[in-house]
Each structure stands twice: as structure tokens, then as C-alpha cells.
């Protein structure tokens, strides 16, 4: 094991050494993106202008695993943990170790140690801690409309999703904007995490009414931090136009026209006949009375006029 303070794991071939207080101890937060390169600075002031041939430099992670070691100007890959082999490079000008192909599992605290090698042994002259924070950019939220809107319904159902991000976002919601207002609809955010990459996929499902004959713009918002969000592209829904009546087939129009013509002609004939009947003269009372007298005369025998008795002789 290592024999100097605050480093429980010791290089196996180093001799016993004496120590002096650190020239300075500091901690710095460093951000890196998934699958890219992170930096672990050491910020060694080197006030004595020491050369690398006089120094022993190495970095350890939070589990005391060695990432990189430079012993008197020579790299020592045999002392590096297998998970870091081929993933590091040392910038001598800035005293910074670069960690390549950063994964979510690399999040944590790293320490840089620098010792001055003298004849009497190693002397610890500098130590610095770096807190590496690994991020993964979520994809732009994507809106997916569920096709259930009918002429009799103004309800919109949709899902919004975003993928391959880290850390877990704070929330997700939808803003619905019309000409006069903006309404926010939120829902319980569903999340899943990949067991290997540890990246998150998130989504929500939202249902809401929209006013008829109104243009609507929908935007999905992914809340990463209190002041950091990602917006989807707007999803615009145009107002419903009135549903036109289906066209009437030509043969139906032709039949309807014939029926209307027949009805009109029949009505005109009926009215003409009725008018003529009213204009034809009917029998008068005199005529009726005359016919009655004549009939009576035909039925009754004529009476013989009486002669005077004086003119009658047997």
C-alpha cells in the first residue's frame, strides 16, 4: 500500500519516504458529456520549476483505482486499473489528465497526487480533487398525436417523449397556445433506465380539449433543471372547417326534377278544371218552376170546360 497521507493504496515498488505538508489542496467540479472526453485537472503551480524526471504523478478514482501514473517521466501502465487502460492522456503543459470515452459510471471524485522524488524518498508536494459530473443530452422532445379526433369530438390525445439522457430530468409538460391564451397540461412522467449505459428515456401522455374552429399550437417542454429546458418543435392543429354535405347523384336530381314537374302540371290542371266548373251557369228558379208545371200537366188529365146548362139540350 501507499505510505503517504490520504492515499491508502501505495505503488508496490516505491520505497519508504518522508512527507511535508501539501502546498495546496483544492476541489474542482468538472463536467463531461457521455462518450466524450472529461478533464481531471491537477493545477500544480511548480514554483520550484521541477522537471518530470524528479516527480511521481498519478490519479485515483473514488474507489482508489489508479487511472494513470507517470514515474520520473515514464508512464507505468502496469499500475493502471484495466478499466482505464487506453482511456487517458496526460497534458504536461496544463497538468491535466484527460479521460476519454466517458461513461455515466465514471461520475465521481478523482484525486491527483504529485510527489517529489529525492534521495531520502518521496515527498508529497501537491494534491487536488476533481468532482467529475457526466451528462448526456436528451433528444429533442417529440410529439406524437393519437388519431382519435372525430367530427363529434374536440379531445386531443398525444404522447411526448425524449431519449438517451442523464441525469434524470425534473419533469415534462405540454403548453397549448391559442390566439388568446396558453394553458399548461402536465402528467406523471414515465421513465426507464438502461442497465448498461444508465441513460434515461422519458415520456408523458396528455389528453385535453380544444375549442372548435380554433387554431392551436402545442409545444412539449422537458424540464432538466430549474432554469434549463428543452423544447419540442411546435405541433400546429388548424381549426376544423365545416363538414360539407355529400354531393347528390345526378340520377336523383333528374328524378326529383321530373316529380316536381308532374306535381306542378297536375296542380295546374286541377285548378283549371275547378275554375271552369265555377264559371258554368246553373238552372234558375223559373226554369225549375216551369219544368215542374209542365211535368204536372203531363201527369194530370185535361179538364173539360163546363158548358152552361142553358145551352145544353138533351
Based on the fold, state whether residues 64 and 83 are members of the same structural domain. Answer: yes
Segments forming the whole domain that contains residue 74: 28-135
Q: Is residue 227 part of a domain?
A: yes
Q: Is residue 298 part of a domain?
A: no
Q: Which of 99, 93, 103, 107 is nearest to 80 (CA)?
A: 99
Based on the fold, state whether residues 196 and 232 are members of the same structural domain. Answer: yes
Q: Is residue 43 part of a domain?
A: yes
Q: Is residue 3 part of a domain?
A: no
Q: Is residue 219 part of a domain?
A: yes
Q: Is residue 19 part of a domain?
A: no
Q: What is this structure's pTM?
A: 0.66
Based on the fold, state whether residues 114 and 153 are members of the same structural domain. Answer: no
Based on the fold, state whether residues 165 and 87 are members of the same structural domain. Answer: no
Q: Is residue 198 part of a domain?
A: yes
Q: Is residue 277 part of a domain?
A: no
Strand partners, 225: 228
End position of a domain, from candidates 213, 237, 261: 237
Q: What local confidence, expressed as pLDDT, does residue 300 receive?
A: 40
Q: What local confidence, expressed as pLDDT, does residue 5 receive?
A: 38
End position of a domain, from candidates 215, 237, 259: 237
End position of a domain, from candidates 87, 105, 135: 135
Give the domain CATH number at 185.
2.60.40.10
Averages of pLDDT over runs of 10 residues in the chain (314 residues) are 40 37 62 97 93 96 96 95 97 96 97 92 94 97 81 82 97 94 95 97 94 88 96 89 60 76 79 70 47 43 43 40
Contact of 48 with 152, CB cutoff 8 Å: no
Amino acid at each position: 500500500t501507499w505510505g503517504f497521507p490520504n492515499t491508502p493504496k501505495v505503488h508496490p515498488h516505491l520505497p519508504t519516504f518522508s512527507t511535508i505538508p501539501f502546498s495546496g489542496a483544492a476541489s474542482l467540479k468538472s463536467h463531461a458529456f457521455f462518450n466524450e472526453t472529461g478533464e481531471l485537472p491537477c493545477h500544480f503551480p511548480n514554483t520550484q520549476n521541477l522537471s518530470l524526471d524528479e516527480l511521481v504523478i498519478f490519479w485515483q478514482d473514488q474507489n482508489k483505482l489508479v487511472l494513470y501514473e507517470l514515474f520520473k517521466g515514464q508512464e507505468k501502465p502496469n499500475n493502471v486499473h484495466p478499466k482505464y487502460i487506453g482511456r487517458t492522456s496526460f497534458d504536461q503543459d496544463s497538468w491535466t489528465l484527460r479521460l476519454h470515452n466517458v461513461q455515466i459510471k465514471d461520475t465521481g471524485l478523482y484525486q491527483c497526487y504529485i510527489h517529489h522524488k529525492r534521495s531520502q524518498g518521496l515527498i508529497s508536494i501537491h494534491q487536488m480533487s476533481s468532482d467529475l459530473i457526466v451528462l448526456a443530452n436528451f433528444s429533442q422532445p417529440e410529439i406524437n398525436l393519437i388519431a382519435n379526433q372525430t367530427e363529434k369530438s374536440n379531445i386531443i390525445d398525444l404522447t411526448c417523449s425524449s431519449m438517451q439522457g442523464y441525469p434524470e430530468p425534473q419533469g415534462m409538460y405540454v403548453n397549448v397556445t391559442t390566439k388568446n391564451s396558453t394553458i399548461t397540461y402536465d402528467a406523471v412522467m414515465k421513465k426507464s433506465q438502461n442497465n448498461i449505459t444508465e441513460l434515461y428515456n422519458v415520456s408523458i401522455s396528455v389528453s385535453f380539449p380544444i375549442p372548435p374552429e380554433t387554431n392551436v399550437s402545442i409545444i412539449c417542454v422537458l424540464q432538466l433543471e430549474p432554469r434549463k429546458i428543452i423544447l419540442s418543435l411546435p405541433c400546429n392543429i388548424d381549426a376544423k372547417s365545416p363538414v360539407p354535405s355529400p354531393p347528390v347523384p345526378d340520377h336523383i336530381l333528374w328524378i326529383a326534377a321530373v316529380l316536381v314537374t308532374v306535381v306542378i302540371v297536375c296542380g295546374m290542371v286541377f285548378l283549371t278544371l275547378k275554375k271552369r266548373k265555377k264559371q258554368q251557369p246553373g238552372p234558375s228558379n223559373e226554369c225549375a218552376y216551369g219544368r215542374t208545371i209542365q211535368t204536372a200537366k203531363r201527369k194530370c188529365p185535361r179538364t173539360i170546360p163546363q158548358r152552361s146548362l142553358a145551352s145544353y139540350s138533351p
